[in-house]
Each structure stands twice: as C-alpha cells, then as structure tokens.
Amino acid sequence: MNDTAANQMSEEQAADLNRLMAAVGEPEAAQQQQVLAEQEEAQQATSGLASQNAQALEVLIGLAGPTLTAFGFPSVERVLGTVDDNTGCTKGQMLAGVWSAVLAKHGVDLGELGGQWKEEIAAVCVTLPIGAAIYKGIQNDCRQEAEPEPVGTLPKAPAVRAVQVDGVAVVHQ
C-alpha cells in the first residue's frame, strides 16, 4: 500500500489495518501495546485512588489533633498544623500525601473502608472527646477527695486560759 492510499484512509480503517498487521506479522508488538495500555490504565486508577485516599487521610489527620488534645496531648495538633516553609502545606497534609500513594499502591481504598465502617468511625469520633472529658473530670474529683482541707477552713479552737488556784492549774474557757 502506498502513502497516498494510507493518507486517504479514515482513522478507523487505519486502526483496523494496524490491528490486522499486528495480528498477522507482529504478535509480540501487539501484545506489548496491550500491556502498555493496561499499565497506563492501572496508573490512572492508582492516581485516582491516591487522590481519594489523600482526601480521606486529611480528614482523619484533621480529627486526630483535636481528639488527642482532649486527651492531654496538645502538641500533636500543633505539629500537624505547622505549615512547612518549603511546600506551603501543613505537616498533616504532607503525611496524607505520602501515605495516600502507599495505600493506593497496595490497593487500599479508604473511601471504601470509610463507607463500610462509617457508623463506627463516627461513633469513635464523638465518643473519644466525651470520654476524655469524663476521664479528666473523674481525675479532678479524685484529686479533690485526696487533698486535705486547707487549714483556714478548720474550726478554730476555743480560747483556753489556765489559772492556778491553790497551786493547782485550772483550765477555764
């Protein structure tokens, strides 16, 4: 076939011709093209999954700071919320970015996990801060019971005078 005839073919006809030629003369090349196409599709799917996982991780990391602050660990929220001068992202966003790719590489879909366990996750997110407040309240109650009353609140002893009558000491109030 000459070049002018090939130029006059439609794109669909050219694709058909390429497939026929690959099937007849070059089966390895056609197989390689198919493998490359599958790899590209997998890479796009992994990229999309990584993006979804990054969003889910940012939400979870965003909840971690206030939750752990309620348990007496305020430095977690400060560290995760610190903005990196080089990237302009918070440390939490940086963690979400790198771990989302690792999770996607292994086929973990946090959106699916969140869908499957969303009621449990919501229950934990509500229960933990309330539990922390109750725990701190009980600790405070126990401390107050263990502490002796301040000296200023004890009743004052009555004034006592000792008087000697015939060589004997007599206590008089």
Beta strand ranges found along the chain (DSSP E) = 161-165, 168-172
CB 64 within 8 A of CB 76: yes
CA–CA dist 103, 117 (Å, integer): 17
The burial of 5, by beta-carbon neighbours within 10 Å (0-12 exposed, 13-18 middle, 19 or more buried), is given as exposed
CB 39 within 8 A of CB 86: no
CA of residue 171 relative to chain centroid, distance: 74
**Each residue's pLDDT tens digit, 76-114:** 889 998 998 888 999 999 999 999 999 988 888 888 877
**What is residue 147's predicted lDDT score, i.e. its pLDDT?**
75
CB 132 within 8 A of CB 76: no
The burial of 59, by beta-carbon neighbours within 10 Å (0-12 exposed, 13-18 middle, 19 or more buried), is given as middle
CA–CA dist 56, 32 (Å, integer): 36
CB 114 within 8 A of CB 121: yes
Alpha-carbon dihedral 68, 110, 55, 99, rounded to 10 degrees: 80
Predicted model pTM: 0.48
**What is residue 124's predicted lDDT score, i.e. its pLDDT?**
84
**What is residue 95's predicted lDDT score, i.e. its pLDDT?**
92
Encode the chain (173 residues) as per-residue pLDDT tens digits: 555 554 556 777 777 777 776 666 655 655 666 656 665 665 655 678 888 889 888 888 888 888 888 778 889 889 998 998 888 999 999 999 999 999 988 888 888 877 788 788 778 878 888 888 899 899 989 988 887 766 666 666 666 666 666 666 665 55
